[in-house]
Amino acid sequence: LVRIETCGLCHTDIHAAHGDWPVRPSLPFIPGHEGVGRVTALGEGVTAPAVGTRVALAWLGSACGSCRYCETGRENLCVSQQNTGYSIDGAYAEYAVADARFAVPVPDSVSSMDAAPLTCAGVTAYVAVKTARVRPAERVVVFGVGGLGHLAVQYARLVGAEVIAVDVTDEKLALATELGADHVVNARTSD
């Protein structure tokens, strides 16, 4: 059981609330898959994370743990996965029930407000950089320096890549430069 401190708002939450997808959440449901809070109680047989630990609750709320996807670290492809704020109640509440295997401890150096969006946009951008197998000195182009793109710029720089950021807004390109992009291109004014 997690006492929620903060929860971000993602477009996925809006789509779920509006019933935009073919598989709709069963009503009533509690949205919110960018939750951060403190563990207040443990279920039977659960030993970690310990009571008092600050954890993040992401979109992937649980998975079977035994299919070929789970066994190879690709739980996001598990056909039995449960999604926080969609197929299981989310973090837009005072408390949320979480599968301990998917409650990720948050370091003290990261605020709850900063950690919340990392549970969705942060993971999405990280997986893109990881899946692309970006290596030091390789060139990476990030198209769009928005909610995901600004994180992709940072992750690619952390790996040591040469980063080119492309956007149509000078303010976003300035942010990309501030975040470590080596080159920026305004697609509205340049080829």
- Interacting residues of 4 by C-beta distance below 8 A, sequence separation 6+: 35, 36, 37, 91, 93, 94, 95, 96
- pLDDT tens for the 191 residues of the chain, in order: 999 999 999 888 888 888 888 878 888 889 999 999 999 999 999 999 999 999 999 999 999 999 999 999 889 999 999 999 989 999 999 999 999 999 999 999 999 999 999 999 999 999 999 999 999 999 999 999 999 999 999 999 999 999 999 999 999 999 999 999 999 999 999 98
Say whether 35 sits in a helix, a strand or coil.
Answer: strand
132-186, which class in CATH?
Answer: alpha beta
Instruction: Report how far apart, in Å, the C-alpha atoms of 145 and of each of 3, 53, 131, 138 are.
Output: 33, 33, 19, 19
Strands 162-167 and 139-143: parallel
Helical H runs in the chain?
A: 11-18, 68-71, 112-117, 123-131, 149-159, 170-178
Tokens found for residue 136: 């030091």
2-112, which class in CATH?
Answer: alpha beta
Residue with token string 């390789």: 138
Tokens found for residue 191: 């080829």
Q: Residue 2: which of 35, 28, 30 has the closest Cα?
A: 35
**Number of CB atoms found within 10 A of residue 42's CB:** 14
Say whether 103 sits in a helix, a strand or coil.
Answer: strand
What residue spans define the domains of the chain?
A: 2-112, 132-186
